[in-house]
Structure 1
Amino acid sequence: MHIEVKNLEKRFGAFQAVNQASFQIKAGHLVGLLGPSGGGKTSILRMLAGLEKPDAGEIYFNGKLANSLSVQERGIGFVFQNYALFKHMTVFDNIAYGLKVKKTRPAVIKERVHNLINIMGLEGTENKFPDQLSGGQRQRVAFARALAPEPKLLLLDEPFAAIDAKIRKELRVWLRSLINEFGTTTIFVTHDQDEAIEVADEIIIIQKGQVEQQGTPWEIYNQPASAFVASFIGESNKLDAPLSLNGFPELTEYKGLDVQVLIRPEWIEIHSENAPVRTEAGQEGTVRHVHFRGDSWYLEIELLNGIRLFTYQAINQQVYQPGDKVNIFIHRLSVFTPKETRILENRSKVDLMPINL
């Protein structure tokens, strides 16, 4: 199902939950609605499902206006954050519920439910009740129940929020494979950027009820449309004032303007104090903090001008200690003003050995 949302609005009393939100989603895509809590993500999801009525705007399913359609007429499967399984029903009956409501023939129900049980890896749980299952199993039952009536659109509200971190990572991979197999257009709400980046075909960043940016995870990470997007997706060094950094003469153009500079940690290359890095291209500094992260070292470095930057160092590279003098080379940075977004490359980069970023 192809989805198009135009100028969607929703208020709850004096609170503007959704404000002129517009976006399109291609059929068969898995799309994440990502943003801070209270940003309007779940309100958009509930309006798509027909559980909330928009105050303004249009929702189109495959080119047809859907605003007036009932929940049942929309052909949507919904997985709630708390699973919302029927506690008095077995796994089989929970999954079969939507098919029974549609008055599907018993033989078809049996075949469809058993097929979903096998796909979901729930063999042996058919006669168990929800309170006899693990969190991961209950989540799979919720997915199976939503998929059983063969919905045209699957909506997931924080689908893994109630599951511990280890199982959540496993279920992300499982969800991606599941959607690839079924080909169902799917929208999921999350505030977990790692989850969205790992799972989604596209991400829609929502803030204060508005769409900040829509694109692939790669596009949003590497070409953020705003300082908010850049700081929300991934990690960044955030510098609020115009700076003087070697290799970036363009920064002088922003003197007196409202500007933010963001530097991704992977854009910072570290060298020991005596390494052959041209001083006009790099920055001298001192390592202030070092923390072991399992697969890397986290380093905080103070430059001579007092600016502090953090970056990461692979564990198989030179290990620095607090107090070590270093030279760093900043490959690129992002500059954000109210009127423009620019990515600046270090002017001296062409004279250095290439690095894979």
Structure 2
Amino acid sequence: MHIEVKNLEKSFGKFQAIHNTSFQIEKGQLVGLLGPSGGGKTSLLRMLAGLEQPNSGEIYFNGKLANSLSVQDRGIGFVFQNYALFKHMTVFDNIAYGLKVKKQKREAIKERVSYLLKLMELEGKENKFPHQLSGGQRQRVAFARALAPEPQLLLLDEPFAAIDAKIRKELRIWLRNLINEFGITTIFVTHDQDEAVEVADQILIVQKGTIEQQGTPWDIYNKPASSFVASFIGESNKLDVPVSLTGFPELADYPNSNSDIQVLIRPEWIEVRPENTSHLKSAGQEGTVKHVHFRGDSWFIEIEITEGLKVFAYQAINQEVFQPGDKVNLLIHKLSVFTPTETRVLENRAKIDPMPVFI
């Protein structure tokens, strides 16, 4: 299903949940709605499902206006955060529920449910009740029930929030494979950036009822449209202007009094080396290691450049381990500057050898 949303508005009393929001989703894509709590993610999802009506704006499914369509006529499967399974029904009956509502034949229902039980790795559990299953198994039943009537659109409202971290990671991969199997357009709400980046084809960053940015996880991470997006996806050092950093003379061009200007540096853009390193030393600056933390696959290093100015970077575990108090050379390869009107990525100009001048 192709989805187009135009100028959507939604208020609850005096609170405006969605403001002038427009976006498109291509057929078969897995799209993550990502943003802070209260940003409008669930409101968008519920309006797509027909559970809430917009105050204004249009929703189109495959080019046809869907605003007035009932929930039943939208061709949507919905998976809730708390599973919402029928406690008094067996696994089989839960999955078969939508098919029975559509009054499909008994043999067709049995065939469809059996197929989904196998796909969800729930064979042998069809006669169990929800309370007899693990959290991960209950979530798979919820997915099977949503997919049973063969919807054109699957909506997921934080589907893995109630599941422990280890199982959640396993289910991310499972979800990606499941969507590939069905080729169904899927939108899922999450506040977990790792979850969105790992499984989504596209991400919609939602804040204060508007879409801050839409794009692939790679594009959003590498070309964030705002300082909010850059700080929400991935980790960044946030520095306020004025700041003086070796190799970035352009920073002096920004007015010191403007609080809307922000400098962000991804930790992977920072290279930490021993103090006596000669390679590109002139492009770096001195710093002092303040804290070192082990993160399992890397070291987290906090470095003080000048009094009150600290940045953090990562060090591979197979490289030299620094200790608090060590003097280091800090090479910042690039950084991003965000203003109200533009986003700029600046490269460290001191790394580039000046061209020879011939007279």
Band the TM-score falls in, shorter-chain normalisation? over 0.9
How far the C-alpha of 1:351 sits from its partner, in A, is 4.6
2:278 to 276, 287, 312: 276
User: Does the 8 Å CA contact 1:242/1:261 hold for their aligned counterparts?
Assistant: no
Alignment of 1:46-125 (within 5 A): 46-125=46-125
Cα distance in 2, alignment partners of residues 250 and 305 from structure 1 = 22
**1:230 is matched with which residue?**
230
SS at match of 1:234: coil
Q: Does the 8 Å contact 1:152/1:185 carry over to 2?
A: yes
Q: Is the 8 A contact 1:242 1:259 kept in 2?
A: no
The question of whether the paired residues in 2 share the 8 Å contact of 1:242 and 1:260 is answered with no
Preserved CA contact (<8 Å) 2:201 2:217: yes
How many residue pairs get matched?
Answer: 352
Q: Distance in 2 between matches of 1:305 and 1:246?
A: 16
Name the structure 2 match of 1:286.
288
Map Cα deviations across residues 191-246 of structure 1 (whole Å, 9 max, x no partner). Answer: 00000000100000000000000000000000000000000000000012231111
What one-letter code is carried by the residue in structure 2 that aligns with 1:296?
S
Letter in 1 for 2:140: R
TM-score (norm: length of structure 2)? 0.97
Residue type of the alignment partner of 2:56: A
Q: Is the deviation greater in 88-97 or in 236-245?
A: 236-245
Letter matched to residue 324 of structure 2: P
Kindly indicate whether residue 237 of structure 2 is the aligned counterpart of residue 252 of structure 1.
no
**Residue 318 (structure 1) aligned with residue 323 (structure 2):** no
Alpha-carbon displacement from aligned partner over 1:81-116 (angstroms, at most 9, x marks no partner): 101000000000000000010111111110000000
Q: CA deviation at 1:348?
A: 2.5
Contact 2:239 2:263 in 1 (8 A): yes
Structure 2 unaligned spans of 5+: 355-359
- Say if 2:270 and 2:330, in contact at 8 Å, map to a contact too: yes
Would the aligned equivalents of 2:241 and 2:254 in 1 still touch at CA under 8 Å? Answer: no
Partner Cα separation in structure 1 for residue 154 and residue 196 of structure 2: 16
Report the 3-state secondary structure (helix = DSSP H, G, I; strand = E; otherwise coil) of the residue aligned with 2:283.
Answer: coil
Partner SS, residue 301 of structure 1: strand
2:299 aligns with 297
Partner of 1:117, secondary structure, is helix
The alpha-carbon deviation at position 21 of structure 1 amounts to 1.0
The range that moved more, 92-101 or 272-281, is 272-281
Q: Secondary structure at the match of 2:113?
A: helix
CA–CA distance in structure 1, aligned partners of residues 230 and 280 of structure 2: 29
* Partner of residue 332 from structure 2, selected from 330, 333, 354: 330
Task: Compute the displacement of 1:255 (Å).
Answer: 2.4
The aligned counterpart of 2:39 is: 39
Change (3 A) 1:101 1:219: same
Is residue 2:30 matched to residue 1:30?
A: yes
Contact kept? 2:204, 2:214, Cα under 8 Å: yes
Aligned match of 1:145: 145
Residue 305 of structure 1: CA displacement?
A: 5.2
Which residue is equivalent to 1:128?
A: 128
Native 8 Å contact 1:277 1:327 kept in 2: no
Counterpart residue identity of residue 108, structure 2: V
**CA distances 1:92-149 after superposition (whole Å, capped 9, x unpaired):** 0000000010111111110000000000011111000000000000000000000000
Q: Deviations over 1:173-205 (max 9, x none)?
A: 000000000000000000000000001000000
Q: Which moved more, 1:271-280 or 1:200-209?
A: 271-280
Give structure 1 stretches of 5+ with no counterpart.
Answer: 353-357
Q: 1: CA distance between counterparts of 2:38 and 2:237?
A: 25
Superposition TM-score, scaled by structure 1 size: 0.97
Is this contact kept in 1: 2:300–2:313, CA < 8 A? yes
Find the counterpart in structure 2 of residue 20 from structure 1: 20
Residue 193 of structure 2 corresponds to 193
Give the percent of matched residue pairs that are identical in Structure 1 and Structure 2. 78
State the SS of the aligned residue for 1:94. helix
CA root-mean-square deviation: 1.1
1:355 counterpart residue number: none
**Which among 334, 348, 351 is matched to residue 350 of structure 2?**
348
1:52 counterpart SS class: coil
Q: Decide whether the 8 Å contact of 1:265 with 1:312 is kept in 2.
A: yes
1:288-347 CA distance string (max 9 Å, x none)? 000111111110000035410001101100000000000010011010001111111111
1:219 corresponds to which letter in structure 2?
Answer: D
1:348 match: secondary structure: helix
Partner of 1:309 in structure 2? 311
Secondary structure in 2 aligned to 1:266? helix
SS, match of residue 180 in structure 2 = helix
The aligned residue for residue 157 of structure 1 is 157
Q: SS at the partner of 1:175?
A: helix
Aligned partner of 2:247: which letter?
G
Query: Is the contact made by 2:235 and 2:266 (CA closer than 8 Å) also made in structure 1?
Result: yes
Instruction: Report what 2:357 is aligned to.
Output: none
User: Equivalents in 2 of 1:20, 1:285: separation in Å?
Assistant: 47
Indicate the SS of the match to 1:297: strand
Other-structure match for 1:213: 213
